[in-house]
């Protein structure tokens, strides 16, 4: 029997597909990721299951759409009663490890921004009967990424953690990070807390919201920590038993704070001004206009996580700083790949690279990500570099459509393992891919352009994107063949009525296909 392959899954946070050299970016330097693509299979139509962290990461782990994984939106921990593909690998004898960001649980400790729904009349039910499902998500097992968990000096993640036997955890974004990383940081620099965050940043002249010139040096930044942990995991696990290693970087998520030389590695003047700033004929749809109006009237939360309006200069600055963070990640990946080669495991290891969602970076005059489900936010890179895959050895590209929740299916298939009942992902390496991508987005905060917490479901075919938004009487329809920038909304165009109706039916059928099939029947009736 041949040895099962090792796997290393590199995943970044908030990296859109077109901000890598191998995906056509004219400025950013990403030679190590490009090298993976040159000896692998790169997907040009790879989409998230949800364009936000927690739901998409839960879909990655469970192989299920957000509507059935239980993690529909940020703020909902992935229940530990959900089975993950990593658990299947572990059960088959794989050594499993996570180095970096998990975000399968909440890591802010802040309460939700809107109250629980329910009737405001009559006697309320007792706590244990207050929701349709008896919940255990507020127990300690689902609070291991919470800052309160890490107050104890000997705090650790209890393993196995969603299938991972070893975890080196990094929580939050920017340079003010928690988990195992903070302990590591303070061991090396006891005064590090005086150097983190916007209040302690180095001087700079950037105007972009959340541009923070961190005082943390490169060698103590989280990307360096994650690379060090990954190196140690490879060296420890190089042996007879196969391993699965997830290397998860919190960058290039905002705040935009590349450390050291990576801060000014790229000049904002070399970055493209997005087309939305030069087109006078573009009429923003209501949810985009709401974001732009909030920024113009001073009502936008510039320090938050939701989409905000921006200027052309702010877009260029955000792009330049993002490129700095990307290049630092690329350097870390190069280091890890060298460690893999030195271990003698490189010929037995499949390397995957992707991101949990994208980022507007000024397109449509927006920064960050949210309910505006443009290509820049939903399409991410995916590279499968496999020494045994003949199709990929010459750096082939494919337009097969696949999504985040398909990743586990491809890994299990390559390992010769069957998925569990209810797994909704499909092997897209040996399989044909999807007819279309179904993308589900939900958020708990009110949207200024919608007036309600947004729930947006989209279908992305090889040519069109249609989005239906709960609670409003309009939607979005774009023909990306004739309008790749998604500027001309065809929703109300009479000439597009037939395609709108056909896509609506296709979206409906996709939603039916996404309905949960577990638990399975145990009798006929």
Is residue 467 in a domain?
no
Phi-psi sector, 150: left (phi>0), alpha (psi -120 to 50), beta: alpha
- Residue 420 pLDDT: 97
Of 432, 230, 433, 250, residue with least CA distance to 349: 230
Contact 30, 20 (CB under 8 A): yes
- Length of the chain, in residues: 525
Range of the domain at 49: 6-109+138-435
Instruction: Look up the pTM and report it.
Output: 0.97
- Residue 133 pLDDT: 87
Asked whether the CA dihedral 187, 189, 190, 195 is positive or negative, the reply is negative
Q: How far apart are CA 413 and CA 424, in angstroms?
A: 14
DSSP secondary structure of 31-78? HHHHHHHHTSEEEEEEE-SSSSHHHHHHHHHHSS-HHHHS--STT-PP
- Residue 1 pLDDT: 43
Structure tokens at 37: 């693509």
Q: Specify the 3-state DSSP secondary structure of 403.
A: strand
- Residue 153 pLDDT: 85
Is residue 506 in a domain?
no
Is residue 129 in a domain?
no
Is residue 145 in a domain?
yes
Query: Cα torsion at 299, 177, 454, 436 (round to 10°)?
Result: 130
Is residue 473 in a domain?
no
Is residue 500 in a domain?
no
Q: How far apart are CA 369 and CA 381, in angstroms?
A: 16
Contact 56, 48 (CB under 8 A): yes
Is residue 65 in a domain?
yes
- Residue 128 pLDDT: 84
pLDDT tens-place values along the chain, 525 residues long: 468 999 999 999 999 999 999 999 999 999 999 999 999 999 999 999 999 999 999 999 999 999 999 999 999 999 999 999 999 999 999 999 999 999 999 999 888 886 555 556 788 889 888 888 887 798 999 999 999 999 988 999 999 999 999 999 999 999 999 999 999 999 999 999 999 999 999 999 999 999 999 999 999 999 999 999 999 999 999 988 999 999 999 999 999 999 999 999 999 999 999 999 999 999 999 999 999 999 999 999 999 999 999 999 999 999 999 999 999 999 999 999 999 999 999 999 999 999 999 999 999 999 999 999 999 999 999 999 999 887 766 789 999 999 999 999 999 999 999 999 999 999 999 999 999 999 999 999 889 999 889 999 999 999 999 999 999 999 999 999 999 999 999 999 999 999 999 999 999 999 999 999 999 999 999
The values of phi and psi at residue 316, to 5°, are: -65, -40
Is residue 91 in a domain?
yes
Q: Read off the CATH number of the domain in which 222 is found.
A: 3.40.720.10
Contact 2, 344 (CB under 8 A): no
At what angle are helices 31-38 and 312-343 packed, to 10 degrees?
Answer: 60
Q: How far apart are CA 209 and CA 466, in angstroms?
A: 31
Total domain count, the chain: 1
Structure tokens at 346: 């490189």
H or E stretch covering 501: helix 497-513
Which long-range contacts link 386-391 to residues 24+ away (Cβ below 8 Å)? Answer: 386/5, 386/40, 386/41, 386/350, 386/351, 386/414, 386/429, 387/346, 387/347, 387/348, 387/349, 387/350, 388/5, 389/40, 389/41, 389/429, 391/41
């Amino acid at each position: 029997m041949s040895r099962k392959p090792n796997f290393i899954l590199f995943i970044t946070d908030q990296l859109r597909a077109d901000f890598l050299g191998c995906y056509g970016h004219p400025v950013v330097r990403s030679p190590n990721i490009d090298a993976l693509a040159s000896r692998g299979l790169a997907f040009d139509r790879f989409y998230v299951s949800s364009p936000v962290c927690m739901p998409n990461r839960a879909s990655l782990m469970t192989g299920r759409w957000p509507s059935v994984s239980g993690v529909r939106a940020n703020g909902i921990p992935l229940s530990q009663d959900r089975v993950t593909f990593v658990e299947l690998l572990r059960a088959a004898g794989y050594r499993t490890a996570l180095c970096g960001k998990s975000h399968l649980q909440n890591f802010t400790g802040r309460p939700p921004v809107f109250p629980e729904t329910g009737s405001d009349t009559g006697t309320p039910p007792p706590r244990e009967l207050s929701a349709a499902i008896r919940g255990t998500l507020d127990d300690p097992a689902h609070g291991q990424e919470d800052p309160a968990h890490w107050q104890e000096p000997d705090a650790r993640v209890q393993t196995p953690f969603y299938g991972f036997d070893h975890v080196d955890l990094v929580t939050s974004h920017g340079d003010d990070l928690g988990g195992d990383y903070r302990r590591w940081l303070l061991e090396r620099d006891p005064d590090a807390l005086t150097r983190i965050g916007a209040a302690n940043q180095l001087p700079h002249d950037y105007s972009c919201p959340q541009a923070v010139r961190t005082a943390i040096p490169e060698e103590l930044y989280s990307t360096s920590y994650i690379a060090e942990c990954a190196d140690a995991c490879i060296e420890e696990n190089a042996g007879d038993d196969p391993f699965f290693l997830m290397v998860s970087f919190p960058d290039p998520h905002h705040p935009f704070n590349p450390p050291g030389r990576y801060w000014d590695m790229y000049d904002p003047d070399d970055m493209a001004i997005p087309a939305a700033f030069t087109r006078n004929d573009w009429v923003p749809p209501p949810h985009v206009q709401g974001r732009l109006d909030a920024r113009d009237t001073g009502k936008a939360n510039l320090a938050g996580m939701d989409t905000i309006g921006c200027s052309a200069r702010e877009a260029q600055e955000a792009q330049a700083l993002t490129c700095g963070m990307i290049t630092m990640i690329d350097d870390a990946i190069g280091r890890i790949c060298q460690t893999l080669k030195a271990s003698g495991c490189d010929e037995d290891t499949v390397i995957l690279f992707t991101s949990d969602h994208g980022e507007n970076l000024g397109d449509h005059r927006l920064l960050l990500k949210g309910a505006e489900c443009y290509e820049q936010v939903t399409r991410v890179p995916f590279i499968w570099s496999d020494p045994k895959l003949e199709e990929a050895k010459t750096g082939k590209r494919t337009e097969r459509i696949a999504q985040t929740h398909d990743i586990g299916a491809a890994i299990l298939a390559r390992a010769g393992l069957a998925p569990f009942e209810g797994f909704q992902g499909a092997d897209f390496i040996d399989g044909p891919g999807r007819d279309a991508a179904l993308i589900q987005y939900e958020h708990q905060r009110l949207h200024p352009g919608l007036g309600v917490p947004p729930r947006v479901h989209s279908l992305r075919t090889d040519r069109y994107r249609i989005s239906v938004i709960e609670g409003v009487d309009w939607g979005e329809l774009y023909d990306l063949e004739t309008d790749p920038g998604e500027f001309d909304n065809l929703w109300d165009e009479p000439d597009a009525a037939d395609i709108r109706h056909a896509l609506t039916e296709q979206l409906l059928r996709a939603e039916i296909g996404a309905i949960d099939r577990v638990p399975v029947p145990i009798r006929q009736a």
